[in-house]
Amino acid sequence: MNHKTICLIAAALMVAGCAVTAEQVAAEKEAANSQAALGMMKTSFKTRGQASVDRLNQDETQALCSQYRDNPPKNIREKIEALNQTLTVFPADGKLLGDWKEGEKVAQSGVGKQFSDNPETPAGGNCYACHQLTKAEVSYGNIGPSLYNFGKVRGYAPEIAKYAYGKIYNAEAYSACSNMPRFGHSKILTEQQIKNVVALLMDPESPVNK
Ligand code: HEC
C-alpha cells in the first residue's frame, strides 16, 4: 500500500495528522522510476545465446548497491559483507592452491560470457584488466590495486590463501559494492580455475612473487 492509499484510508476514517515527508515522496518516485527503467530495459534488450535478459535481475546485494549508488551507509555495508560471507563456498578438499602457470592463463584471458562466446569454453578472469600482477606483463589496468608481490608482502600463511580464495570467489564478502566481479559466486570461474589463480598470487615460485 503506498502513502496515498494510506492517507485516503486515514482521511476516510477521519484520522488527523497524516504527514508524508518529502523524503517518502522522493523515495516512492525513485522506486517507480527504477521499475519503469527496468521494464524499458527488459523490453529493449534481447536474449542472445548465453547473454540472457535474466542478467538484468539483481540479487539482494546488487539491488542494495544500486539503491545506494555503490556507497551504502556503514550498517548496510556490513549487512552486504556478512550476507556474502555466508554465500562463499570453499573447496571441499581444503586445497586452495592449484597451478600458477594455469592461473596466469586465466588472469590473461578476457574471453567468456559474451553472446558470441562458446558457453562450453572456460571463461577467463581478465585480472590484468584491473590489476598489475607480474613484472613481465606491462599491459594492465589500475582500477584495482597492484597484486605484484602479493604473497611475498602478505606472507604465505594459510589464512592469506583463504582470504585470496574468498576475495576472488566473492569480492562483496570483503568490500561491499566492489568493482571486482564475483568470480565464484557468479560462476564465471570454476573452483579449479580459482585455485590456479590463488596459486598465481600465493606460490613463492610464481612470477607475482619474483
Ligand atoms: C573490473 C575490475 C577487476 C577485475 C577484472 C578483477 N579485480 Fe580484483 N579488485 C578490483 C578492485 C577495484 C579491488 C579493490 C577493491 C576491493 O577490495 O574490492 C580488487 C581487489 C582484489 C584483491 C584484494 C587485494 C588486497 O590488497 O587485499 C585481490 C586478491 C584481487 N582483487 C584479485 C583479483 C584476481 C585474481 C582477479 C582475476 C581473477 C581480479 N582480481 C579481477 C577490481 C578487479
Q: Domain tally for the chain?
A: 1
- Of 159, 172, 173, 162, give the one whose Cα is nearest residue 195: 162
In a domain, 8, yes or no: no
51 lines ligand 1 (CB under 6 A): no
Average of per-residue pLDDT across 48-60:
93
In a domain, 7, yes or no: no
Residues whose CB is less than 8 angstroms from the CB of residue 113 and which lie 6 or more positions away in sequence, other chains included:
50, 51, 123, 188
144 lines ligand 1 (CB under 6 A): yes
In this structure, the residue with its CA closest to atom 40 of ligand 1 is 127
According to the model, what pLDDT value does residue 12 have? 52
Give the domain extent around 67: 50-210
Are the C-beta atoms of 45 and 55 separated by less than 8 Å? no
Residue showing cell 564465471: 188
In a domain, 115, yes or no: yes
100 lines ligand 1 (CB under 6 A): no
According to the model, what pLDDT value does residue 19 have? 76
**The ligand 1 atom nearest the CA atom of 163:** 29
In a domain, 158, yes or no: yes
Alpha-carbon distances, residue 106 vs 96, 111, 166, 190, 195 (angstroms): 16, 9, 17, 11, 11
| Residue 62 C-beta-side C-alpha neighbours within 13 Å | 11
This model's pTM is above 0.85? yes
The mean predicted confidence, pLDDT, of the chain is 92
Are the C-beta atoms of 172 and 166 separated by less than 8 Å? no
Residue 73, domain CATH = 1.10.760.10
Q: Which of 154, 165, 167, 188 is the best mutation target for the ligand 1 pocket, counting ligand atoms within 8 Å of the beta carbon and taking the most?
A: 167
149 lines ligand 1 (CB under 6 A): no
In a domain, 185, yes or no: yes
pLDDT score of 1 more than 60: no
180 lines ligand 1 (CB under 6 A): yes
In a domain, 205, yes or no: yes
